[in-house]
Amino acid sequence: MILETERLRVRELDEEKDAEFMHRLLNSPKFIRFIGDRNVRSVEESRIFIRDRYRTSYKENGYGLYAVELKAGAGPSPVGICGFVRRDSLPHPDLGFAFLPEHEGYGYGHESARALMNYSRDTLKFTKLLAITTIDNEASEKLLMKLGFVFEGIREMSVNEKLKVFSADLI
């Protein structure tokens, strides 16, 4: 467990427990459109993806993207992910989030991101966070602005990939 909010629990992703959830999330239309196609086409590939990407980030960086689950209901079940990505192409960690389509619009992104921003400042001792979005991802841009991020500009991250970069000072 990383943290709890009024409605949510944020915890590390587990390759066995979360493989089906991650398979659904990684293959949801908005994830593919706005974040990218990770070519994860089976639950088994999801297990490997969780192990090789997320679990490795926890070990190497001390943080990563986390499962966001509801506290209420018939037992904990992930509704999305939120957390931090360390990219060689950026000077600071960046905040990332994605939620299953049926759990969008309930404020879970804002609630989990706000709590994780506080966690990053207080526990991880981050002084600055970045965030990136595709040029046309208006929903994520709106959430970032609500969280206090400022638009920094457009950056070419790789060949034919231009992304909006946002920043938030945490001190």
Helix or strand (DSSP H, E) at 171: none
Domains of the chain: total:
1
102 contacts 21 by C-beta, under 8 angstroms: no
- Enclosing domain of residue 15: 3-169
Q: What is the pLDDT of residues 91-113, one digit of tens each?
A: 999 999 999 999 999 999 999 99
Q: What is the pLDDT of residues 22-62, one digit of tens each?
A: 999 999 999 999 999 999 999 999 999 999 999 999 999 99
Sign (positive or negative) of CA dihedral 58, 47, 41, 78 = negative
Residue type, 143: L
Cite the DSSP H helix spans in 36-146: 43-49, 56-61, 108-122, 138-146
Please report, for the domain that includes residue 36, its CATH number.
3.40.630.30
pTM value is 0.96
